[in-house]
Amino acid sequence: MPPHWAHTGPEKNRGRPEIRTLCTAPISPEQACFPAAAQSAIILRQGLGEQPDIQYLLSSRASEQLSAPQWLAAQRAYWGIESGLHQRLDVSADEDRSRVQHRNAVWVLGMFRRIGVSLFMHWRGQDSRRAKSTLPDFHEEMGLEHQRRAFALVHAKESRALEAS
């Protein structure tokens, strides 16, 4: 396969077989009407018996920095982030319903929510019995004993505070 092409498949995507093909080409910012654009790509996803899904992509990385197989892998990894962190923020932390509008407040609140998710992931990984625990389970655990566990966690120099719960 030429270096500007990448192909996978069939592979499972949400339990269904899918074939993905990506083709890249160099592009200038003027051609793309987008600052810093150095490379463009088209990705074709085809599920068995489904209409093909076409997506157009731009990157500021040249083909020497981001090959077609690397780009295809990065596109696949993107959904791991979307279904991991963003799902937790949207569903468990209710981020989509937030009505905070001040730019700095949105930034600070977003940072605290991400810190909370990071602490939850660490807490969940400490004990195999917590494997199916959710972010609300973590909030409930930290709220026990009048927030003693949460304060111990925040003030701990080492992560032993999470093991106590």
Q: Would you state the pLDDT for residue 41?
A: 92
Mean pLDDT of 56-81: 84
State the pLDDT at residue 37. Answer: 93
Distance CA 141, CA 163 (A): 12
Phi, psi of 133 (to 5 degrees): -70, 155
Residues 6+ apart with CB under 8 A from 161: 149, 152, 153, 155
Residue-wise pLDDT for 88-117, tens only, equals: 777 766 677 778 888 898 888 888 888 888
Q: How many helices (H) and strands (E) does the chain have?
A: 6, 4
Q: Looking at beta carbons, which pairs linking 157-160 to residues 24 or more positions away fall under 8 Å?
A: 159/122
Instruction: Give the pLDDT band (50/70/90) at residue 65.
Output: very high
Residue 40 · residue 58 · CB < 8 Å? yes
DSSP 112-145: HHHHHHHHHHHHHHT-GGGTT--HHHHHHHHHHH
For residue 112, give the DSSP letter.
H
Q: Summarize the confidence of residues 115-139 as an average pLDDT.
A: 84
* pTM of the predicted protein model: 0.49
pLDDT at 79: 65
Share of the chain above pLDDT 90, in %: 17
Sheet containing strand 5-13, edge to edge, reads 5-13, 16-26, 39-47, 53-59
pLDDT at 127: 84
pLDDT of residue 111: 87
